[in-house]
Structure 1
Amino acid sequence: MAALRPSPLAEQAAARLEEQIRAGQWPVGGKLPGEVALAEELGVGRSTVREALRTLAAAGMVRSRQGSGVYVTADRPTGDWAARLRRAELAHVYEVRTVVEVQAARLAAGRRTGADLAALDAALAARRAAGGADDAAFVDADIALHTAVVAAAHNPVLDDLFAQFAPVLREQLVALVGLFGLRAEDPDHGYDAHADLVRALHDGDPEAAGRVLAAELEATRSRLLTH
């Protein structure tokens, strides 16, 4: 490799190492050369190499093993989950959303408290009331109901995952509701399915809750694929 020119050297070094990893010079699971060797190849100091490796570690591409060295864990950046969601196709986001939310609904059916049920009833009522509002307010009310379902599962990891989806979903769904004309004939689009979901949670029926939500999300995903 040619020596790097002055500028943000650590950024250049990280970019060069990323290129080499992507090209397969160091495959996933393989060990990188030591700091001294990398510094000589790149024409930079060891401190620059360490900073570049920290950048790659933050991106999920490498991991340091104490006393062993630095190993490749991925051939492309994986660390910025929110950015990847923004770049992803909405149909793909829906596939992952279904995995997360359907399991959350099943858990919620067995874990929901009286306070959760009250919150779900209020969210369902707010969603119906938003039928007379604009598309943005309607989508906000819909996401708020789904958020209440996930919250009733009482799993903070699921809460965090859905929180990552919510901004991406809102931005794209506001556009899609108008594009598909979903509310042209039915301002409360999807109300019956959401009411069935809340009823299943009241009944403590995990299979019904998962089935209803899976069908509702799949209907939207299918529409995305065929539009």
Structure 2
Amino acid sequence: MKKLVAIVLISVLPALGLAAEGHDVELHKAPVNLQDKVSLQNGAKLFVNYCMGCHGLEYLRYGRMAEDLNMPEEAVAKYLNFASDKIGDPMSNAMHAEDGKAWFGNPPPDLSLEARYQGSDWVYSYLIGFYEDESRPYGYNNKVFPSVGMPNVMASLKQELGEEEFNAAMGDITNFLTYAAEPIAAKREHLGVYVLLFLAILLIPAYLLKKEYWKDVH
């Protein structure tokens, strides 16, 4: 029962604008496009290299990601899977919860469902929302999540890319996390196009049949 309630809340809260953090902050629109494989692939690469040292994706497996994002399993195993020797394993990290709590105040959360719980706009706004704050232990604060314990691990990347390209890169990570939260969504969207086309075609004989049945009714 508790799991059912949690699933309902994860699905409903973003739609109501009641995400746990940052619901009173103006959020930036996330550039989410689940059909953009290049963006998703780049987001996966950036996530593994910059985020996965602390955060995992327990509900997503390397093999599923490789299949969905059109990535060769050999490349995923060689360049993206640093925590396991099996393509079928979940995308977990090696950090122990006790270590995470000692270093950051709380264990870094698993991000499998973060985009569904907080919403894609929240995730994107959070990623681009870090700013310098000398009062904080790591020298940075966040506009969306004030006093967050997470260091700004993207600071060097922003200096390297510049603001515009950096925001695009954070958009790719957000796109990937949106996919990770519901891997079937892209296929469902694709299938939905064919369903609508079928219904549009079916409308024609249905209309003609209706005219035939009612032609003698005055």
Q: TM-score range by the shorter chain?
A: under 0.3
Which entry has the higher C-alpha Rg, 1 or 2?
1
Tell me which protein shows more helix as a share of its residues.
1
TM value normalised by structure 1: 0.21
